[in-house]
């Protein structure tokens, strides 16, 4: 399987995927950590993929999305954005709205 097929499979078979540095339990970058905190706060289950474990994945995800930085959030196969965008959307209430529109179940807050 090519790295592109691997990424495609991950973002299509999981509702919410975060490509990040480190793991959701142990983020190894402040920007990745911020997105984990926001997703946890919203109460949405997500799959974290650690790009530090694979140079191929780290490079591949940047090409896949045409986006030069990590973290990258995908919802239902669609690229949402990086740390700044996720934070702005969260603060504006748009992130929660996106999950609702996409039919992603979030924990009641």
Contacts with another protein, residue ranges (CB under 8 A): 21, 28-31, 66-69, 79-85, 88-89, 91-92
| Nearer of residues 96 and 105 to another protein, judged by Cβ | 96
DSSP 29-64: SHHHHHHHHHHHHHT---EEEEGGG-HHHHHHHHHH
Taking 3-state DSSP, the helix, strand and coil percentages for the chain, each rounded to the nearest 5, stand at 50, 15, 30
C-beta of 1: minimal distance to another protein in Å?
27
C-beta of 30: minimal distance to another protein in Å?
7
| Nearer of residues 28 and 45 to another protein, judged by Cβ | 28
């Amino acid at each position: 399987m090519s790295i592109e097929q691997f990424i495609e499979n991950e973002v299509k078979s999981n509702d919410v995927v975060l490509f990040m540095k480190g793991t959701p339990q142990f983020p190894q970058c402040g920007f990745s950590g911020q997105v984990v905190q926001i997703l946890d706060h919203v109460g949405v289950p997500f799959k974290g993929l650690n790009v530090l474990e694979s140079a191929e994945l780290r490079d591949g995800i940047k090409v896949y999305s045409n986006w030069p930085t990590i973290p990258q959030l995908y919802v239902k196969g669609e690229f949402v954005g990086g740390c700044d965008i996720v934070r702005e959307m969260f603060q504006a209430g748009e992130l929660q709205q996106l999950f609702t529109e996409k039919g992603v179940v979030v924990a009641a807050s």
